[in-house]
Amino acid sequence: ETDEHDSTTDFILGVLWSNGDSWREMRRFALVNLRDFGMGKKACEDKIIEECQHLIEVFKDFKGKPFDTTQPTNYAVSNIICSMVYGSRFEYSDPEFTTMVDRTNRNVLLTASLSIQVFNAKTFIEMVAANQKQNFALFRRLKETLNPDMCRGFVDAFLVRKQNLEASGNKNSHFHNDNLLMTVTNLFNAGTETTSTTLRWGLLLMAKYPKIQDRVQEELRRVIGDRQVQVSDRKSLPFTDAVIHETQRLGNIVPTSLPHRTSRDITFHGYFIKKGTTVYPVLASVLHDPSEWEKPHSFHPAHFLDKDGKFVKRDAFLPFSAGRRICLGESLARMELFMFFTTLLQHFRFTPAPGVRKDDLDLTPRGGITLSPAPHQLCAVSQM
Ligand code: HEM
């Protein structure tokens, strides 16, 4: 009964994609088109494989010296959603791209707590406005070169639909410039920081727990060897799959999901909740539930393995939330996490910076709308 997002969501995402018919139509259009542009399919797998190579080059350039993984990981992950939305990836040296990604990343951190939200509201709004300006410039360029018979990405598909509706005299549709901006911003924001943060948790956990990293790398060597990992390999990599799931479970990176609003009066677990009340679905109540998990607060990949080492699904694994507003990008995020994590672990051994003991690697999350690792550096020691 909480299909609606609360208006705080608009503030957090910097957009107005919250409720009613507009949400329904935009969500449907985004899903259909992202699938057309590869979400969950081979085309997307190929894009991720290409992006992995760019990310590997950046990691290699550090030559095993310690570095902060945030920016390159953000850029690589963001490029996947960019290629679906705008129709092309960007170079990591392109300031038009990097400033947009960096601003989004900063804005997520600015939402750390309510008092900081108020304090930072001006900076937040300025950065949202700057990203909007850049998006309008990108839309303009795409519009100038639009070919209705060959859509390059989501923006093209939206513009073509808008033009067709206008040509048929429909002036009241949801396909207007504001909704284009909102939907693109939603996809860009939701599709970058979440997946990148999860991936960085995964690398940090590997440096912190080298014996688990050993087992992942042993499995990758035994099952894959030197060849490129493919999505279809997942079922043959149960330990690695369990590590990725456990990273998402323990990481609990979207701790309060997005604020929802009850669409009618309801009694839930004996509590009366009035229509229109803001509800925060606290995902830790399932992800860290002591009645569901043997070691709720430890990194324990065996949560997802049976006694024979086979992968097992768990009902309380809900990092993407649930219900009608469940994460729209779940299949994309799962594919990205699997492909990026396995490819990086094939190529590199992740260790703490020299002089830092693995026990000193801090797993206390840094707050915000997402929970990310505290600032840290890792060494990526080349294995191939
Ligand atoms: C590990 C990565 C990710 C996690 C943990 C995650 C988690 C979530 C969560 C918890 C929500 C809120 C659901 C609710 O309101 O109950 C959400 C919404 C959403 N996510 Fe994700 N997400 C991830 C990646 C992505 C990606 C890659 C995309 C890109 C397409 C994406 C697009 C969205 C959108 C558009 C919504 C809003 C859906 C709506 O309001 O109808 N997410 N996500």
- Residue 259's domain comprises 4-382
The answer to whether 317 and 248 have CB atoms below 8 angstroms apart is yes
Measure 152 CA to ligand 1 centroid, in angstroms.
23
| Ligand 1 contact via 192 beta carbon (within 6 Å) | no
Q: Which residues contact 8 (CB under 8 A, 6 or more apart)?
A: 259, 278
pLDDT at residue 15 in the model: 40
Ligand 1 atom closest to the CA of 319, numbered from 1: 5
pLDDT at residue 7 in the model: 54
Which has the closest alpha carbon to 286: 242, 317, 257?
317
What pLDDT, in 10s, does the model give residues 329-379? 999 999 999 999 999 999 999 999 999 999 999 999 987 778 999 999 999
Measure 327 CA to ligand 1 centroid, in angstroms.
3
| Ligand 1 contact via 253 beta carbon (within 6 Å) | yes
Pocket test for ligand 1, best of 13, 185, 194, 282 (most atoms within 8 A of CB): 194
The answer to whether 201 and 246 have CB atoms below 8 angstroms apart is no
Measure 191 CA to ligand 1 centroid, in angstroms.
7
Confidence of residue 189 (pLDDT cuts 50, 70, 90): confident
Q: Chain centroid to CA 89: how far?
A: 17
Confidence of residue 4 (pLDDT cuts 50, 70, 90): low
Confidence of residue 16 (pLDDT cuts 50, 70, 90): very low
Measure 201 CA to ligand 1 centroid, in angstroms.
18
| Ligand 1 contact via 191 beta carbon (within 6 Å) | yes
Which has the closest alpha carbon to 90: 98, 185, 197?
98
Which has the closest alpha carbon to 347: 162, 221, 230, 231?
221
| Ligand 1 contact via 2 beta carbon (within 6 Å) | no
Kindly list the distances between the CA atom of residue 247 and the CA atoms of 10, 161, 199, 298, 361, in Å, as whole numbers in the listed order. 28, 40, 8, 10, 16
Question: Of all protein residues, whose CA lies closest to atom 18 belonging to ligand 1?
Answer: 327
Q: E strands of the chain, at which residues?
A: 4-5, 260-261, 266-268, 271-273, 278-279, 348-352, 365-366, 372-373, 378-382
Question: Of all protein residues, whose CA lies closest to atom 41 belonging to ligand 1?
Answer: 325
Ligand 1 atom closest to the CA of 337, numbered from 1: 1
Full-model pTM: 0.92
Which residues are part of a known binding site? 327
The token duo for 269 is 């677990």
Q: What domain count does the chain have?
A: 1
Which has the closest alpha carbon to 69: 356, 370, 348, 364?
348
Measure 322 CA to ligand 1 centroid, in angstroms.
10
> Which of 153-167, 297-311, 313-327 is predicted most confidently?
297-311
Measure 147 CA to ligand 1 centroid, in angstroms.
30
Q: Averaged over 185-207, what is the pLDDT?
A: 94
The residue that leads in pLDDT, 27 or 110, is: 27
Gyration radius of the chain's alpha carbons: 21
| Ligand 1 contact via 258 beta carbon (within 6 Å) | yes
Residue 336 class from Cβ within 10 Å (0-12 exposed, 13-18 middle, 19+ buried)?
buried
Q: What is the CATH number of the domain that holds 196?
A: 1.10.630.10
DSSP string, 156-220: HHHHHHHHHHHHTT--SSS-SHHHHHHHHHHHHHHHHHHHHHHHHHHHHHHHH-HHHHHHHHHHH
Complex ipTM: 0.99
| Ligand 1 contact via 187 beta carbon (within 6 Å) | yes
DSSP string, 78-121: HHHHHHHHTSS---TT-HHHHHHHHHHHHHHHHTSSHHHHHHHH
